[in-house]
């Protein structure tokens, strides 16, 4: 930045206070640039929340509050419903992939494919209703 200011001064042939003003401006502008390295986005700045699933045998607890009466998130949070496990997701994905491969290969009849597809769609539609009912209770 200072070298650029000097080259401008050479071209303009300014002397005296003008030179000092341009150099001061260059130094101030040069101070605006940060020499700190950028923050690594892969490094997590704050701890992530821990979410657990409510145990049916355990009685419901009130939300944790600090002495002033404000809610605190120091204790682990409780999920409203059970979450889909990785094993369940892999099982469903494998089942759908196998059904798709069987249809493409012609080893499953169109009627059987439609029947299995209807079962899966019914499960998807009913699961949402069941989950909402479980959360409401």
DSSP state of 5: H
Please give the helix or strand (H or E) that residue 78 lies within, else none. Answer: strand 77-79
**In angstroms, rounded to a whole number, what is the distance separating the alpha carbons of residues 77 and 106?**
48
Provide the pLDDT confidence category of residue 136 given band limits of 50, 70 and 90: confident
Say which residue the tokens 């494919």 belong to. 113
From 13, 9, 35, 12, select the one nearest 22 (Cα to Cα).
9
Exposure on the CB side of residue 51, measured as CA atoms within 13 A: 6
**In angstroms, rounded to a whole number, what is the distance separating the alpha carbons of residues 105 and 99?**
10
From 24, 20, 26, 21, select the one nearest 5 (Cα to Cα).
26
Q: What is the mean pLDDT of the chain?
A: 73
**In angstroms, rounded to a whole number, what is the distance separating the alpha carbons of residues 49 and 51?**
6
pTM of the full structure: 0.35
pLDDT score recorded for residue 100: 86
Over the stretch 73-125, which tens digit does the pLDDT of each residue have? 777 777 766 777 888 888 888 888 888 898 889 888 888 888 988 888 888 77
Please list, in sequence order, all residues whose beta carbon lies within 8 angstroms of the beta carbon of residue 117, skipping any fewer than 6 positions away: 99
Which residues make beta-bridge pairs with 65?
71
Contact assessment for residue 75 and residue 64, using Cβ atoms and an 8 Å cutoff: yes
Spans of all domains in the chain: 1-32, 86-136
């Amino acid at each position: 930045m200072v070298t650029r200011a000097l080259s401008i001064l050479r071209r303009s042939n300014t002397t005296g206070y003008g030179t000092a003003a341009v150099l001061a401006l260059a130094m101030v502008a040069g101070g605006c640039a940060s020499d700190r390295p950028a923050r690594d986005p892969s490094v997590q700045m704050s701890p992530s929340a821990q979410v657990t699933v409510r145990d049916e045998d355990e009685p419901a607890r009130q939300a944790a509050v600090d002495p002033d009466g404000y809610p605190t998130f120091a204790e682990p949070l409780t999920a409203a419903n059970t979450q889909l496990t990785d094993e369940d997701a892999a099982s469903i994905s494998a089942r759908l992939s196998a059904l798709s491969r069987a249809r493409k290969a012609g080893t499953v009849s169109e009627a059987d494919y439609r029947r299995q597809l209807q079962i899966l769609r019914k499960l998807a539609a009913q699961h949402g209703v069941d989950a909402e009912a479980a959360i409401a209770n």
